[in-house]
Amino acid sequence: MLQGVKLLEDAGVEAPRLTAEVLLGKAAGGRPKEWLYAHANDELIELWWIHYGRYLHRRLEGIPTQYITGRQEFYGREFRVSPAVLIPRPETEHLVEAALARWVHGAPVTDIGTGSGAIAITLALETKGRVCAADLSADALRVARANAEALGASGVAFVQADLLSAFACLQMVVSNPPYIAEAERATLQREVREHEPHLALFSGEDGLGHYRRLVEDAGRVLVDGGWLLLELGCDSAGRVLELFGDGWCEVEFTADLAGIDRVIAARRRKR
């Protein structure tokens, strides 16, 4: 494993030791880190060595570790991921927490741009309620359906749709929409820019295109008192807040551990 750590370090890969551990564990048939250290002096089986070298090569090419292993943890559960979906981030767990804090028993939830299904499936399992997961990408929906089946989230229904265009009379809408401006494309990490789906990353020249549509359409499809909750980029809170007009009340932010506003929640005012 040390040889792999050195290769990753020299290439400037983030968290080289952890990455080497994860890739070696996958090469060894899914062995956990504890097993690897307990057998640190063992000779690698030739097939494991071949797989390990292949995984290291892919990581050195910039492919994210999660796409190599096909797995990412979110809210204490393991989700399948592929290049068809955005890799779930820890920051998105704040969106789940904010939704759970405002959820009313029995109220259905709609997750827009579901990707891997991490948000929708987590909410369905935590609330034992009904969730609709929507995405424009058929490939993403296939990943999400597989995750729902693997995790036993039978309360999730899936719809292929462009944001809120297919909905009416909703009680709670959650979304982690694309929010990166086209002008920022060149500044992104190579792993993100070259390998994660652009459909889930970019939103027009200023990064607000999807926010504008979601706020406008949610004002139309939410019932009185219904909630809209959106994940925010690290510097977008003020600009997104300006999109909410007189039709909204109880507009609140949720900050992450670094004090950055990561979620905006707003309630549809009674008409």
Q: Which CATH superfamily is domain 74-268 in?
A: Vaccinia Virus protein VP39 (3.40.50.150)
Average pLDDT for the chain: 92
- Enumerate the CATH 3.40.50.150 domain ranges in the chain, comma separated: 74-268
Helices (H) and strands (E) in the chain, counts: 11, 9
Task: Report pLDDT for 52.
Answer: 83
Helix 2-10 vs helix 16-27: crossing angle, to nearest 10: 130
- Which region among 22-31, 184-193, 229-238 has the lowest average model confidence (pLDDT)? 22-31
Average pLDDT (250-263) is 96
Geometric angle at alpha carbon 97, from 92 and 103, rounded to 5°: 125
pLDDT per residue over 25-81, tens digit each? 788 776 666 666 655 566 667 777 788 889 999 999 999 999 999 999 999 999 999
- Rounded Cα distance, 8 and 13, in Å: 5
Instruction: Give the chain's radius of gyration (CA, Å).
Output: 20
Query: Model-level pTM?
Result: 0.91
Task: Report pLDDT for 32.
Answer: 66
